[in-house]
C-alpha cells in the first residue's frame, strides 16, 4: 500500500510540475537565454564524454499515461538517460531530484542526470542512493 500511495503522490506532484513548466516555457525570452547557454554547455560536455545528445522528442509518455518532460535525452551505448537543466541561482532540493527520478522511471530511462548551480545535502544523499548523476555548472565549465 505504501508504494501505491508514494506513486500516487509522485503522479500528482508531476502534474503540478507540468503545469508550472508549461508556464515557464511560455515565459519571456529574457528567461530563456541563460538556460539555453547552460543547455549548450551541457550538450558540449556530453558530446566530449561520448554521448549521443537528443534535443528533439524530449517529451515522452510514461507508463502512467502522463507526459514527462526532459531538457535533453543522452545515450551512451544502450543506456539512455533523461537530463534536466536548472539554471537557478539557488540550491536544488531533494524534491526536484525525486521528481526527476520519478519521471525517468516512469518512461523507462536509466539513471537520470541533473545539472544545476548547487545541490542540497539531502539531494546529494538521495541521488547517491538512487544512482542519479548530479553535475554542477562549475564541473561542466572546468571540463570544457
Length of the chain in terms of residues written: 144
Q: Tell me how many domains the chain contains.
A: 1
pTM above 0.85, yes or no: no
Which contacts qualify for 137-141: CB closer than 8 Å, 24 or more apart?
137/38, 137/41, 137/87, 140/41, 140/42, 140/45, 140/115, 141/41
Parent domain of 33 = 2-143
Domain at 69, CATH number: 3.40.1350.10
Q: What's the average pLDDT block by block, 10 residues per block, for the chain (144 residues)? A: 52 61 44 71 95 92 95 95 93 96 95 96 97 94 78
Amino acid at each position: 500500500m505504501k508504494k501505491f500511495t508514494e506513486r500516487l503522490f509522485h503522479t500528482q506532484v508531476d502534474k503540478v510540475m507540468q503545469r508550472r513548466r508549461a508556464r515557464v516555457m511560455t515565459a519571456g525570452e529574457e528567461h530563456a537565454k541563460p538556460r539555453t547557454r547552460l543547455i549548450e554547455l551541457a550538450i558540449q560536455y556530453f558530446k566530449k564524454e561520448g554521448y549521443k545528445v537528443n534535443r528533439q522528442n524530449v517529451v515522452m509518455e510514461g507508463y502512467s499515461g502522463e507526459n514527462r518532460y526532459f531538457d535533453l535525452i543522452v545515450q551512451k551505448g544502450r543506456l539512455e538517460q533523461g537530463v534536466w537543466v536548472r539554471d537557478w541561482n539557488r540550491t536544488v532540493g531533494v524534491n526536484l531530484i525525486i521528481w526527476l527520478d520519478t519521471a525517468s522511471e516512469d518512461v523507462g530511462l536509466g539513471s537520470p542526470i541533473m545539472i544545476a548551480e548547487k545541490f542540497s545535502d539531502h539531494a546529494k544523499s538521495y541521488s547517491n542512493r538512487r544512482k542519479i548523476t548530479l553535475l554542477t555548472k562549475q564541473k561542466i565549465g572546468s571540463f570544457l
